[in-house]
Amino acid sequence: MPSQQLLTLCQASLPSKKRLFERASEAIAQSFDLPSGAIYRELLGREKLGSTAIGEGVAIPHCRVDLCTEAVGCLITLDHPIDFSALDDHPVDIVFILLVPREANQAHLDLLSHLATMFSDPAMRTALRAAQTTENLRQLLLNGGDS
């Protein structure tokens, strides 16, 4: 994913999944001129199908939408973990929201696979949790954990 299609929010104070989706939708809408309400509804609808938590405090809410023409990502670290109904029962404090064009099936799967692999690395999770600025988060993500 090109760096210009990536947002980061560092140590955000968002007490619930609902508030997280609201804030992320607002940030994505503002940065990419997309409708925040539609983004929010798509994220909520996807989450109702089943938790997007992948374990170890990480979630990757994702959906294919008609709203965008290329993939958009938003990495958020939280100052306090929130419940995401994860299979491992760990609350989530690292969230990567991924929106891809509806017709981009393979790109969607490829990006999800790449993200899941990256977030399965304990050193990457530790580095993301230690990041203190949005720019540091961005560099960690773009450099695969090496800031």
Q: Which of 62, 80, 90, 114 is catalytic?
A: 62
Segment 63-84 shows an average pLDDT of 93
Q: Does the annotation count 62 as an active-site position?
A: yes
pLDDT tens for residues 22-52? 999 999 999 999 999 999 999 999 999 999 9
- What lies within 8 Å, CB to CB, of 47 at 6+ separation is 17, 21, 61
According to the CATH classification, is domain 3-142 in 3.40.930.10? yes
Segment holding 99, helix H or strand E: strand 92-101
Segments making up each domain of the chain, as ranges: 3-142
pLDDT tens for residues 87-144? 999 999 999 999 999 888 788 889 999 999 999 999 999 999 999 999 999 999 888 7
Give how far the C-alpha of residue 58 lies from the chain's centroid of Cα atoms, to the nearest Å.
Answer: 9
